[in-house]
Amino acid sequence: MYKEFKGLNLPEIDKEILQFWKSENIFEKSIDTKDASNPYVFYEGPPSANGMPGIHHVMARTVKDLFCRFHTMLGQRVERKGGWDTHGLPIELSVEKELSITKEDIGKSISVDEYNHKCRETVMRYKKEWDNITEQMGYWVDLDNPYITFENNYIESVWHLLQLLYNKGLLYKGYTIQPYSPAAGTGLSTHELNQPGCYREVTDTSVVAMFKVIKDERAQFLFDDEDEDVRIIAWTTTPWTLPSNTALTVGSKIEYVKIKTINPYTKQAFSAVLANELVNSWFGEKKAEILSKSDVFSGEKLKGISYEQLLPFAQPEDGDAFKVITGDFVTTQDGTGIVHTAPSFGADDMRVARANGIGSLTLVDKQGRFTAEAGEFARRYVKDYKDDPNYVNVDIDIAVKLKQENKAFNVQKFVHNYPHCWRTDKPVLYYPLDSWFIKTTAMKDRMVELNKTINWKPASTGQGRFTNWLENLQDWNLSRSRFWGIPLPVWRTKEADDELCIGSVEELKKKTEQANKALNLQQSVPTDLHRPYIDEVVLYSEKTGKPMYRELDLIDVWFDSGSMPYAQWHYPFENVEKFKANFPADFIAEGVDQTRGWFFTLHAIATMAFDSIAFKNVVSNGLVQDKFGRKMSKRLGNTVEPFETIAKYGADATRWYMISNAQPWDNLKFDIEGIDEVRRKFFGTMYNTYSFFALYANIDGFKYSEARVPVSKRPEIDRWIISKLNSLIVEVFDFYADYEPTNAARAIQDFVDSHLSNWYVRLCRRRFWKGEYTEDKITAYQTLYECMNTIAKLMAPVAPFFADWLYLNLNTVTESENYESVHLATFPEEESSAIDPTLEERMDYAQRISSLILSIRKKEKIRVRQPLLKALLPVLDDRFQKQVEAVQDLIMAEVNVKSFEFVTNTAGVISKTIKANFKTLGKRLGKDMKAAADMISQFDQETIRQIEQQKYYVLNIGDTSYTLEQEDFEIGFNDIPGWQVASDRDLTVALDITLNDDLIAEGTARDLINRIQNIRKTSDLNVTDRIIIKLESNDAVNVAIDKFADYICSETLADSLTTEKEVNGERLELFEDVIIGIEVLPVLSVK
RNA sequence: AGUCCUAUAGCUCAGUUGGUUAGAGCACUGCUCUGAUAAGGCAGGGGUCGGCAGUUCAAGUCUGCCUGGGACUACCA
């Protein structure tokens, strides 16, 4: 017996199927039964178990899961090793918050040892919740043997990679400008700078400083006479960087101009050089006066000009200085189009200075004070870092000095956004710091090239965003001065005259022993490769004979996760073959926010270390937002609790909703009501279809034990739904294979709702419950069964629980397939011979013609139970008529019309309409199109008939004449006089609505049947119970009974039908103003 | 600031290489069908296709600019 249910309960199905998967090890079997030589490689991007899983994780993991399941069904072996990201700042921060300490306390009030232990505990805090959501949402991933980034084996593999890069000369120590908090005494990561509230609006003193041009050959063109005082003017909002100025940067393509004017403070005449576009920002009414203006000249011409140092406190020792250089970052958005360049305090400045051989001055120390060299400003803080009540703004003093020395053209307050340290609330400086870098720039071209071979979904993320990012790549700053992470395996002598990069524990052991011998130490390799233990290891420099100490940096956690293809297998120390078989990945998927994160680090490491891509296909999914399109955040209180959602609506409805509602890469506006709609419309419909099937199949004992009826021998409608089904298989397969899950889900949904349930089943109901267990009935069961069985497989990747439930419900009875679960079954293959486009076309006609007739009935207020004599169909060609004739019976039954008449000779009966076919004519007629369309629409019936007969028409527009073919026109039907007509595109239907006594009686009979059936239903009779009927006598009823008693009885399973003056049963309205009594009594079965 | 995505009915989304009157589902209203139906059918209201230009005989669709929403990167005088 097929299981029958009281209602659809998706959460209950989840539980049941989950239990089944667990007890029968279905997940394991789905891998183990597949051939290892046919793998589909998937990489799991490791989540951090440091926070609770959110609904967006369900989204991301649904995408991952469904493609893995799909490829499993294609017979591929899809191993999915889980993983955990365990290092990094978020974990350190949460520990610090919990212990109420800051970074400064580490090593003081808490030992590094204790601190790292705490991190290790914290990092898996929500592992249980993660495991739960993984299981409940039906995400199949191997959680028993995950890779964990803090394990020694993982670290060792990462070290190996770093050594590989080191040996290729791609690892170097450099001096760069990084965000730095003088108040906290620490560098800040960009992640820290992106904490909410870090960028704040502040008012600073801005200065337009005047840099005096030295008159030499190069600068000659700027001078009109010997004594002219030519100054390049540059704007800054950080006057404290002016003493460290060593260059001025202009844009080579920007146009500049020289303005003769008067300094507003000193009233001295001088000539200002600035961008032509920005002249009006500084000169004009109520601003400085323009005495004269030179011709424009390009920035390129200014290049190489020297100027006098603005505040000559110190001289740079590491390069040239006080020259005009060019840089691509210069804009004319604000300022003067000339950038004051202090290489120590700006990343752009440093970059452009280096490229031009310009040296730097660093007249501010790490506490944020001017150094002793800075003249009268020495030892003063550049910002109020100490909350000193007597703090005097040094920017203002600098501005005053410049004004007095005729070096300031403009001083004013300026409001702008400036980053602040999230911990101390003090402004950040950009400061030169030592860091280790990976020279990704050296491999840039190769990365771009390899990226072209990756299939990105959506393509724009790969071609646009990612390529763009690669092309503007900077070297990868690997250093983090933190505690909980993978230590950089580089040892150096104090003088930096020798260094060593360690690539394995074995190598470290050897080097340690060597050092022990040479330096007379008793150290051993620590059992935990983290800080602080690893810091204690001292190595020996053979070259210099000196001890070497580890560089204290940790590496960026993104390197951790980007190393997972290798480190998850402890490559190359173990599993070398395993790694080779699993690299690169066929498929990865994460949020689009990982484009520059994990997607990049995977790609970069694979390119640099192995000259390979790391993944072939990548799906980057968008954000999950709330129903108003806002970002979900705890602060707004609009987060969706994934556990609750899944518990209430079931995993499948949640998954289906997420996949079908929006493309994965579009942002999803998550609306809980949408899940409910999916449950009702899709799962509800599918459930009802199954219930209907189960109800009658159980009665008839259908178990698919009869031989399969060949499709060609099945009735039209069966061949139609099977054709549709096979078309669907092709479509869904292509969509899944193309990583387009949304289209796949929508196609399945559309099939189930509009075709299977609301056309096939609805039209075929009688075949299931009417009559004996005939060949036709068996065929109907087989057809419906095959549809459902296939749908179960098609939907399995997205809705794994319901699919398995449905599959098992069907197959445990029929045993027609011997798979234990739908997830062990193979994906359906289409039977291409079953696909019949002309059949699909004519059924489409049937559906549309039915709609049109129902529409006329509605307009004329004639209920569908009232039979009508005939419908009239004007036909354009034979093919159309043949198509409709084939489905005529279906239409007649559906709309309760007794016959069809095709009208071919329409002259005089039907008027036609004509329109221009814009598609074919537009290109030919061009400008005359509009006139032609007007003329054609005016054609009379005679002209139309002429065109139909002659198959061409000569149209004259102005002096041109065009010969138009029949295809250049679109001919349709207009009204048919005296008939009720409805049209839909190329279809037109007319309906004869005259009634006679027979028709009326039959209509009455059908109404009676309906009322009786309703009574059967409400009085809870079984569908097989037989009844006797007593009707209250009534003229209309009597006529109907006279003619249709047998019909009524057979439809309602009645043994007898009698009329009486009065009956005990219900009183029902048969039609308007006619109320009769109907009594329905079950016939008790006699044993 | 740059790069990218996005904007179509109250809501969620379709809309082919530009082509005639821009569609579906949900929600709302009325009617209707039904011995599978928390369903279906028919009809109705609801759209300056974000705005402005341009290309074209023809623009929801192509181009440019602008605006709103989002993501990432950067923070720059």
> For residues A212 and A231, what is the distance between their CA atoms, to the nearest angstrom?
4
Q: What is the pLDDT of residue A986?
A: 65
Residue whose CA lies closest to nucleotide B77 C1': A339
How many helical (H) and strand (E) elements, i.e. helices and strands, does chain A have?
A: 36, 39
Say which range, A176-190, A794-808, A919-933, has the weakest mean pLDDT: A176-190
Q: Whole-number Å distance, CA A994 to C1' B9?
A: 39
For A747-756, what is the mean pLDDT?
88
Among A85, A556, A560, A968, which one carries the catalytic annotation?
A85
Q: Protein footprint on strand B: which nucleotides are under 7 Å from a CB?
A: 1, 3-6, 11-14, 17, 19-20, 25-26, 30-43, 56-58, 69-77
Please list the residues that pair with A1027 across neighbouring strands. A1054, A1082
| C-alpha span between A22 and A135 (Å, rounded) | 10
- pLDDT given at position A633: 61
Q: Higher-confidence residue: A619 or A670? A: A619
Q: Could you tell me the CA-to-CA distances from A1071 to A830, A950, A1036 in Å, in that order?
A: 49, 54, 10
The tokens for A624 are 């999950």
**What does the pLDDT average to over A274-284?**
83
Is the CB of residue A59 inside 7 Å of nucleic acid strand B? no
- The average pLDDT across A685-698 equals 89
Q: What is the mean pLDDT of residues A981-990?
A: 70
pLDDT over 60 (residue A1086): no
**What pLDDT is attached to residue A197?**
58
**Triad A828, A830, A834: Cα angle to 5°:** 135
**B34 C1' – A650 CA distance, angstroms?**
29
The answer to whether A1021 CB sits below 7 Å from nucleic acid chain B is: yes
pLDDT: is A588 or A337 the higher one? A588
Average pLDDT score over residue span A105-111:
83
Question: Quick one: pLDDT at residue A1087?
Answer: 37
A335 touches strand B (CB under 7 A): yes
Given a cut of 60, is residue A860 above it in pLDDT? Answer: yes
Run of H or E residues at A348: helix A347-355
pLDDT classification of A612: cutoffs 50, 70, 90: very high
- pLDDT of A978 over the 80 cut: no
Q: Establish whether the CB of A661 is closer than 7 Å to any nucleic acid atom in strand B.
A: yes
Q: What's the pLDDT band for A75 if we cut at 50, 70, 90? A: very high
Task: Decide if A866 is catalytic.
Answer: no
Predicted confidence (pLDDT) per residue in A291-311, tens digit:
988 988 888 888 889 999 998
Cβ contact A695 with chain B strand, < 7 A: yes
* Res. A18 pLDDT band, cuts 50 70 90: very high
Q: Element (H or E) spanning A1024, and its range?
A: none
Q: From the candidates A21, A598, A656, A665, which is the catalytic residue?
A: A598
Q: Tell me: pLDDT of A67 over 90.
A: yes
Check if residue A766 sits with its Cβ under 7 angstroms from strand B.
no
Rounded to whole angstroms, the Cα distance separating A84 from A63 reads: 19
CB atoms within 10 A of CB A174: 14
| pLDDT confidence of residue A574 | 94
Nucleotide lying nearest to A335, CA to C1' measure: B77
- Closest alpha carbon to A406 in A265, A231, A201: A265
Q: Is the pLDDT of residue A639 over 60?
A: yes
Rounded CA-CA distance A917/A921 in Å is 6
Is the pLDDT at A131 greater than 80? The verdict is yes
Q: Which nucleotide is nearest to A348 (CA to C1')?
A: B76
Query: Rounded distance, CA A570 to CA A620, Å?
Result: 27
CA–C1' gap, A459 and B62, in angstroms: 20
Q: What is the 3-state secondary structure (H, E, C) of A441-461?
A: HHHHHHHHHHHCCCEEECHHH
Residue A15's CB: how many other CB atoms inside 10 A? 15
Of the listed ranges A129-138, A396-405, A964-973, the least confidently predicted one is: A964-973
Strand B interface, A 431-490, C-beta < 7 A = 458, 460-461, 464-465, 468-469
Q: Are A42 and A80 in contact (CB under 8 A)?
A: yes
Of the segments A11-20, A439-448, A894-903, A1005-1014, which one has the largest average pLDDT value? Answer: A11-20
Q: What angle do CA A342, A343, A346 make, to 5 degrees?
A: 85
What is the per-residue pLDDT for A1000? 81
| DSSP assignment of A373-414 | TSGGGTT-BSS--S--TT---HHHHHHHHHHHTT-EEEEEEE
Share of chain A above pLDDT 90, in %: 32
- Active site annotation includes A333: no
Give the pTM: 0.83
Q: How far is the CA of A653 from the C1' of B46 (A)?
A: 30
Contact A83, A568 (CB under 8 A): yes
Q: Which residue has the higher pLDDT, A287 or A747?
A: A747
Across residues A1012-1020, what is the average pLDDT?
74
Active site residue A159: no
The C-alpha atoms of residue A661 and residue A669 are separated, in whole angstroms, by 9
**Backbone dihedral angles phi then psi of residue A228, each to the nearest 5 degrees:** -60, 135
- Res A144 pLDDT > 60: yes
Strand B interface, A 618-647, C-beta < 7 A: 623, 625, 627, 629-631
Return d(Cα A673, Cα A679) in angstroms, integer: 10
pLDDT at A19 over 90: yes
A669 touches strand B (CB under 7 A): yes
- Residue A601 pLDDT > 70, yes or no? yes
User: Is A1033 or A454 the better-scoring residue by pLDDT?
Assistant: A454
> Does residue A980 register a pLDDT over 60?
yes
Nucleotide nearest residue A923, measured CA to C1': B57
CA of A297 to C1' of B74 (A): 30
The mean pLDDT of A1004-1016, rounded to a whole number, is: 79
Whole-number Cα distances in Å, A841 to A214, A517, A752, A835? 85, 88, 18, 11
Active site includes A634? yes
User: pLDDT class for A708, splitting at 50, 70, 90?
Assistant: very high
Report the 10 Å Cβ neighbour count for A321. Answer: 21
Pair A652, A608: CB distance under 8 Å:
no
Per-chain mean pLDDT for chain A: 85
> Which pLDDT value is given to residue A196?
54
Structure-token match 């397939």, residue found: A817
Q: From the candidates A631, A681, A859, A919, which is the catalytic residue?
A: A631
Q: How many Å from the CA of A880 to C1' of B31?
A: 32
Listed residue (A840, A877, A857, A737) closest to A794, CA to CA = A737
**Separation of A858 CA and B42 C1' (Å):** 6
Give the pLDDT of residue A634: 61
| Rounded CA–C1' distance between A249 and B32, in angstroms | 78
**DSSP state letter for A770:** S
Q: Tell me: pLDDT of A189 over 70.
A: no
Per-residue model confidence (pLDDT) at position A977:
61
Q: How confident is the model at residue A581 (pLDDT cuts 50, 70, 90)?
A: very high
Cα radius of gyration (chain A) = 41
Contact flag, residue A889 CB and nucleic strand B, below 7 A: no
Helix H segments across A107-184?
Answer: 112-122, 127-136, 152-167
In this complex, the answer to whether residue A46 has its CB under 7 A from any atom of chain B, a nucleic strand, is no
Residue nearest to nucleotide B26 (CA to C1'): A677
Q: What is the mean pLDDT of residues A1055-1060?
A: 82
Q: Residue A1083, by phi and psi: left (phi above 0), alpha (psi -120 to 50) or beta?
A: beta
Q: Which single residue has its CA nearest the C1' atom of nucleotide B36?
A: A692
Which amino acid belongs to residue A1005? Answer: A
CB-side neighbour CA atoms (13 Å) of A563: 30
Does nucleic acid strand B have an atom less than 7 angstroms from the CB of A510?
Answer: no
ipTM of the complex in this document: 0.84
Give the ranges where A573-683 is alpha helix by DSSP (H).
Answer: 576-581, 598-610, 642-649, 651-661, 672-678
Residue A596 Cβ < 7 Å to strand B: yes
Tell me: pLDDT of A555 over 80: yes
Residues with Cβ within 8 Å of residue A188, at least 6 apart in sequence: A178, A179, A180, A181, A421, A428
pLDDT band at A945 (very low <50, low <70, confident <90, very high): confident
pLDDT band with cut points at 50, 70 and 90 for residue A610 = very high
Report which secondary-structure segment, H or E, holds A1056.
strand A1054-1060
Query: Residues A108, A267, A413, A634: which is the catalytic one?
Result: A634
Quickly list H helices, A861-928. 878-895, 918-925
Residue A604: count of CB within 10 angstroms of its CB: 23
Q: Would residue A652 show up in a list of annotated catalytic residues for this protein?
A: no
Q: Which one-letter DSSP state was computed for residue A772?
A: S
Asked if pLDDT for residue A1022 goes beyond 80, the answer is no
CB neighbour list of residue A1022: distance below 8 Å, 6 or more residues apart: none
Mean of pLDDT values over A863-890? 81
How large a percentage of chain A has pLDDT more than 70? 93
Catalytic residue among A21, A46, A457, A793: A46
The answer, yes or no, to whether residue A1063 has pLDDT greater than 80, is no
Lowest-pLDDT choice from A10-14, A312-316, A765-769: A765-769
Task: Specify the pLDDT at position A139.
Answer: 95
Pairwise pLDDT comparison (A9 vs A71), residue with the higher score: A71
Mean pLDDT, residues A608-624: 89
Predicted confidence band of residue A62 (pLDDT cuts 50, 70, 90): very high
pLDDT at A827 over 50: yes
How is A553-578 classified by DSSP, letter by letter? PEEPHHHHHHTHHHHTTTTTTS-HHH
A234: CB within 7 A of chain B nucleic strand: yes
Q: How confident is the model at residue A316 (pLDDT cuts 50, 70, 90)?
A: confident
- Phi (first) and psi of residue A614, to 5 degrees: -105, -15
Return d(Cα A803, Cα A825) in angstroms, integer: 11
Provide mean pLDDT across the span A95-101.
82
- The model's confidence at residue A592, banded by pLDDT at 50, 70 and 90, is confident
Query: Residue A521, class by beta-carbon neighbours within 10 Å (0-12 exposed, 13-18 middle, 19+ buried)?
Result: middle
Whether A312 is catalytic:
no
Nearest nt (C1') to A657 (CA)? B12
Identify nearest nucleotide to residue A1014 by CA to C1′ distance: B35
Question: Which residues neighbour A605 within 8 Å (Cβ) at sequence distance 6 or greater?
Answer: A161, A559, A562, A563, A614
The pLDDT-based confidence of A476 (bands split at 50, 70, 90) is confident
Residue A558 among the catalytic residues: yes
Per-residue pLDDT at A637 exceeds 70: no
